[in-house]
Amino acid sequence: MLLLRRSLLLACALACLGKAPAWAETPKPLVFCFENTVQQPWSTPSGEGLNFELLKRVEKQLGEHFIYAAKPWRRCMEELRIGMVDSVIGAADIPERHRYAVYPTLPDGRTDPARALFEDTIYVFLRVGGQASWNGRQLISPNREVGLPSGYAIATLVRQQGLIARDMIKSPEDGLRMLASGMFDAVILEGAQAATLARQDPRFQGKVTVAQPPYAMLDLHLPVSRQTYERDPQRIEAIWRAIATVRQSAEYRQLASQAAR
């Protein structure tokens, strides 16, 4: 009996040596930073919106666990740059970000729109009675100044067009308030929420207008820090693939359709 017991203990020890403990097999949760302003229908500071509905489904599909941190956008990007967070939610692709972040890409090196979190519309807003104008090709503004959200990639495009990007706006509401007060004659803001505020909020009616056509359409991604990607590229690629799958699912498309109403 003693010999049998020792044999069983030895077999158990050998089995344990050949298998890592359960805690070692569980990947560390990923930390995602997102902007702490309301960006309907995509996100709110409390962690609601389509982006979180999508990422919840990605978590379930892959057995992942994500931790969310709401912060000012410029801080999110800085923490991504230095590797304090694993990713940011809803970032456009611009060359300077490639130094510290990795985006889902196609074989030819272009960023893959199918694996973006969402596509959003960028609008030009003009002050009624001001001197700025937008004809779909050229934006003209006094002193070439345009108000922009702080830290947004659209500032790169604005500067390439010879304009001065005053990227100091904290939220869509903040940008429209600056415009209505006369601080700017033109601001560029992202998303349907800003357009809805301009058209329906009594504070802005008759003072600001949404210029047409839109300034740009941008794919917004879930880029990860280079450190995070290099630690486990297969994990990150799986997350990006799952984003594309969930976006095309009937359930998520219905959610998106309802949110757009």
The pLDDT value recorded for residue 192 is: 87
CATH 3.40.190.10 applies to domain 24-117+221-259:
yes
**Taking the model in full, what pTM does it have?**
0.86
State the DSSP string of 112-177: -GGGSSEEEEEEEEEETTSS-EE-SS-EE-GGGEEEEETT-THHHHHHHTT-EEEEEE-SHHHHHH
The pLDDT value recorded for residue 254 is: 96
- CB of 120 within 8 A of CB of 113? no
Per-residue tens of pLDDT for the chain, all 261 residues = 434 344 444 444 444 444 444 344 678 999 999 999 999 899 999 999 999 999 999 999 999 999 999 999 999 999 999 999 999 999 999 999 999 999 999 999 999 999 999 999 999 999 999 999 999 999 999 999 999 999 999 999 999 999 999 999 999 999 999 999 999 999 999 988 899 999 999 999 999 999 999 999 999 999 999 999 999 999 999 999 999 999 999 999 999 999 877
The pLDDT value recorded for residue 18 is: 45
Would you list the domain boundaries of the chain? 24-117+221-259, 119-219
| Residue positions counted in the chain | 261
CA 197 – CA 174 distance, rounded (Å): 11
- Topology given in CATH for the domain delimited by 119-219: D-Maltodextrin-Binding Protein; domain 2 (3.40.190)
Equal fold, 24-117+221-259 vs 119-219: yes
